[in-house]
Structure 1
Amino acid sequence: MPTSLATIKDRLSTHIGQELMVVAQAGRKKTTERHGILKETYPAVFVVDLDQDENSFERVSYSYTDILTQNIQLNFGDDDKADDNQ
């Protein structure tokens, strides 16, 4: 698992334009899955353009802290996990 926000941002930057699935904790043993494309990374957040067939809104942003604290998990099509769990 990455141990710093800079490491997480660097790893995500290499996946810009790729399809991914975001699994987010929705409280009390509930999770939500959203499919989309990693659009951009910013100093504190990253933006995912969502699949319009599944979602009522176009894009969502998450903080790198969400990955660090394991509130969300990212799965890309070409590997098991973007957060690498190292």
Structure 2
Amino acid sequence: MNSPRAISDIKKDLESFVGSKIRLKANRGRNRIIEKEGVLESIYPNIFVVKLDERKIERRVSYTYADVLTETVELFVYDTEDAEIRIAAANH
């Protein structure tokens, strides 16, 4: 079993994908899992922001790096062939 990565490593991984199209999978508890597509908009010391385009409405959601560490949030980025690559995983 791999040991979990440090929050600073997760933040460093995300920095290289700012501005990239991503797919977000978030566990909201009680069997509520949301999957959305958006753009990784910005990185801050304690959170990251994803801009979502839903039904002509621009919305921003923020998550902490601890959410990624605890696997409450999973992020996938699209590469040049539109294949998904998992980024910022706790056991990467």
Band of TM-score, shorter chain: 0.7 to 0.9
Please tell me whether the aligned partners of residues 51 and 58 of structure 2 are also in contact (alpha carbons under 8 angstroms): no
Match of 1:30 among 29, 32, 38: 32
Structure 2: which 5+ residue stretches go unaligned?
none
Normalising by structure 1, we get a TM-score of 0.86
Q: Which has the higher strand share?
A: 2
What does the per-residue CA deviation read over 1:28-57, in whole Å, with 9 as the maximum and x for residues that have no partner? 222101111001000000011112337x55
Q: Which runs of at least 4 in structure 1 moved beyond 3 Å after TM superposition?
A: none
Q: Give the TM-score taking structure 2 as reference length.
A: 0.81
Bigger Rg over Cα: 2
Whole-angstrom distance in 2 between the partners of 1:31 and 1:9: 23
Q: CA RMSD in A?
A: 1.9
* Alignment: residue pair count: 85
Identity of aligned residues (%): 34
Which residue of structure 1 aligns with residue 70 of structure 2?
Answer: 69
